[in-house]
Structure 1
Amino acid sequence: MRVGFVGAGRMGRPMVARLVAAGHEVRALGRSAAARDALAGDGAVPVASLAEAAEGAEAVVVCLFSDEQVREVGPGLVAALPEGAILVLHTTGSPRTAEDLAALAAGRGVEVLDVPVSGGPHDIAAGRLTLFAGGSKAALDQVRPALAAYGDPILHVGPLGAGQRVKLVNNALFAAHIGLLADAVRLASALGVPEETLLDALPHASSASRALAGVASRRSVAEFARSTGPFLGKDLAVARALAGDLGADLGALSPAHDVLAALDGVDT
């Protein structure tokens, strides 16, 4: 496929490399000469503008850090995409962002998919990044050959916006797991069990989880929370706002988030 790519950073650049290795033609946006040189080294065609990234593309993938950044570049991409192309949004954010861009795209024969991801660069390198896709199943099937370069499983979870809703719930639960682990470490300390001893033992027991595996790898709940805070914090803010708008609440997840927020240096 001919794929445009916007956001070739910590997560995006390994996606670009996997797309190229799978035989796709990738036009990747690089804001600086150094970034474009790096992308050329990965086998992509480096470009300097959104219009160039979208030129002749069957799909354009957006993998930026924040929802605000997607809102900044989205209208320009929609305007530049050729008829029949698909805009794939990997950035975690508000479902309304995808819906607003889809409204702009409706008259242009362009479709939008919200496809937030779960995992990290190591999952991309292994081709096992989890993708939650919202939008037309036909559009998803059209871009599946490209997404399969780094995504497995690729889960169609419902109409446009559903991918973001599932990802926000996932991140709310993941953050709550970290908060619960902080309380578990506090309890263990009161019982005379050091944190490192607890983190050596629990991954082998029934309480194991991805959050616990991440914490155990850092040897500290607080250290893991600090490393994930910039990503989780923005997503939890969106989850709270969305829940409030829809008259829902975070229930038992909320106290665990409060524990997480109380860790030194962590802002959720």
Structure 2
Amino acid sequence: MSRVHFVGAGRMGLPMVERLVGDGHDVHVLARHDDARAAVEKTGATAVGDITAVGTDAELVFVCVFTDEQVRRVCLEDGVLGRMPKGSTLVVHTTISPRTVETLASAAEPFGVAVIDAAVSGGPHDIAAGALTLFLGGADEAVAAVTPVLKSYGDPVLHVGAPGSGQKVKLVNNALFAAEIGLLAEAAELGRQLGVDEAALFSALPHGSSSCKVMGNIAMRGSVSEFRSAVGEFLTKDVAVVRAAVSELGGDLGVLDTAIDAHTR
């Protein structure tokens, strides 16, 4: 059993907390408001109302907030890293810049704290099934130590390289995901030009050689626009992160950028 502190018990974080509690871990969750506190306590976790309680005596601190800025604020400005004991590990699930991971790792080093970026692919239903895909960046020893805990809700849990590598793999994943939606929007348009109903098209194509996971999700929704509406909030945010991070790292999305633009038309 591990002593876990958790920040960000929202759409993704709360089911993670529930799985961690279910596996017997001692989980303390930041919950500043009454409704959040009630939701946390319903999982069997302990709700704490003040960020200053996060980090102290924790073996693992999980951060699952929404933005890069929020991660920096929690870990650096609010002092969570500075309160974590030597030998503990910070696990960041938020999609952020790989440079931010490097900043956190540098800030954590004097405290003897390991930093792992554990980027996610999937949704709350995958967490509930224990089947969330995790891309881990971090030192071998730290990743090996935290993997059994992450398997409370992650499968597969994939170690892809040094700190920041999990985010880099997630950036490529998200770029390809958005590009596939754009390509499938163009495919739907081609189908319309040929007189093929969109729902019929996407009920058939998942059985062909062009099939991909995104296509299957679109088929379940019935159209590209319906699927895009369902994932729009997160897709818009993730595309912005991809473009900013790739530019920051000196990369080029190439033809993926053209396909990504197609999904907005």
What TM-score does the superposition give when structure 1 sets the normalisation length? 0.94
Secondary structure, counterpart of 2:81 in structure 1: helix
SS of structure 2 residue aligned to 1:88? strand
- Secondary structure in 1 matching 2:152: coil
1:1-268, aligned counterparts within 5 Å? 1-75=2-76, 76-262=79-265
Write the distance in 2 (CA, Å) between the matches of 1:230 and 1:150: 23
Write the distance in 2 (CA, Å) between the matches of 1:207 and 1:171.
19
Pairwise CA distance, 1:48: 1.0
The one-letter code sitting in structure 2 at the alignment partner of 1:11 is M
- What secondary structure does 2:187 align onto? helix
CA distance in 1, matches of 2:174, 2:123: 13
Partner of 1:192: helix, strand, or coil?
A: coil
Letter in 2 for 1:97: T
Which residue in 2 is equivalent to 1:266? none
Give 3-state SS (helix, strand or coil) of 1:115's partner.
strand
Structure 2: distance between partners of 1:9 and 1:244: 29
Task: Choose 6-15 or 136-145, whichever is displaced more.
Answer: 136-145
**How far does residue 53 in structure 1 lie from its aligned partner after superposition?**
2.9
Q: Which amino acid aligns with 2:218?
A: V
Alpha-carbon distance in structure 1 between the residues aligned to 2:90 and 2:69: 17
**Deviation, structure 1 residue 244:** 2.2
Offset at 1:205? 1.8
- 1:225 Cα deviation (Å)? 1.3
SS in 1 for 2:264: helix
CA displacement at 1:176 relative to structure 2: 0.5
SS at structure 2 position matched to 1:261: coil
Cα offsets for 1:28-57 (capped at 9, x unmatched): 111212211211110101111223232311
- Structure 2 distance, partners of 1:36, 1:82, is 26
Identity %: 55
Return the TM-score normalized by structure 2: 0.95
The secondary structure found in structure 1 opposite 2:54 is: helix
How far the C-alpha of 1:173 sits from its partner, in A, is: 0.2
Q: Which runs of 5+ in 2 are unaligned?
A: none
1:5-42 deviations in whole A, cap 9, x for unaligned?
11000000000000000111100111212211211110
Q: Which residue identity does 1:73 align to in structure 2?
A: V
Return the alpha-carbon distance in structure 2 between the equivalents of residues 154 and 18 of structure 1: 15
Residue pair 1:5, 1:60 contacting (<8 A) in 2 also: yes
> In 1, Cα distance between the equivalents of 2:126 and 2:249?
33
Name the aligned partner's letter for residue 100 of structure 1: T
Name structure 1 gaps, 5 residues minimum. 263-268
CA contact 1:50–1:80 (8 Å) conserved in 2: no
4+ aligned runs moved over 4 Å, structure 1: none
**Distance (whole Å) between structure 2 residues aligned to residue 226 and residue 65 of structure 1:** 19
Distance 1:72 1:128 in 2: 30
Distance 2:250 2:119 in 1: 23
Q: Secondary structure at the match of 2:62?
A: strand
